[in-house]
Amino acid sequence: MAFVPIDDRDGWIWMDGEFVPWREARVHVLTHALHYASSVFEGERMYEGQIFKLMEHTNRLFRSAEVLDFRIPFTVAQINEACKETCVRNGLTNAYVRPIAWRGSEQVSVPAQNTTVHVAIAAWDWPSYFDPETKKKGVRLCWAPYKRPSPETAPTEAKAAGLYMIGTINRHYADARGYADAMLLDWRGYVAEATGANVFFVQGDRLITPPADGAILNGITRQTVLEMLAARGLEVEVRHIKPEELSGFDECFLCGTAAEITPVSEIGDYRFTPGDISLGLLADYDRLVRGQG
């Protein structure tokens, strides 16, 4: 299938309260967010006409904006409705939804109190983040060259565009070496997360995952997985994980809105075999988001 640039498509984008043709949804070259990364965003999925955990995503968008010290000029209810309307306007029932809020072009300097805050919402078809057949076998990850920063040095609790520069560099590093993704350590040297997904490990019938202590983004899918595991009665240990511990783990999987549940077969020199827990969660999560679980 031929590559279609994301900015050259038919459709509609919700922008500051109204729908504009897809190709006309533009910002000025001096937009503050372009120069100083003053923007926050969400990644959401619509399944069978329903956006999964929409309220949780929108609430996080507003919290992220607050962390970056700007106010979104719409209510949570208005953004929720706009997300749904954007999918309807584009004729979508299964889609990826991207709300984003950013500082405008009135002021190009580190201080930005005089800028206007804008909001846009786009939605488009986006199949599985990883090839479905590869997912069942487990994707291959390398170790990332860049670490997750300390919460003392960056607003790590926010889903802020600037933090994803690290993810882009690390993902390109992985792609160039034939891997599906890269696993990041945090600033202390503990296992953190992949470039756009959280990670869980399985040891027997027990699961281990890093804590949301500023080293990772506390993903909405991560929180959903924790709820699913609790419902199953499975023990989950939330703690710091040293890289050398990976030799003692049986299974590994990533989770995120884009990644959904993705089993992992290797991280660097460490090997895992997708088994009952990760493959079972993959199937259960698919049923849950489609309203069947």
Strand partners, 6: none
- Name the 3-class secondary structure at 31: coil
Question: What angle, rounded to 10 degrees, do the helices at 276-289 and 220-232 form?
Answer: 110
Q: Of 123, 124, 120, whose CA–CA distance to 18 is shortest?
A: 120
- Exposed, middle or buried, 278 (CB in 10 Å: 0-12/13-18/19+)? buried
For 58, residues 6+ apart whose C-beta sits below 8 A from its C-beta are 42, 76, 79, 80, 83, 99
* The Cα angle at residue 68 between residues 106 and 6, in degrees rounded to 5: 70
Catalytically annotated residues: 159
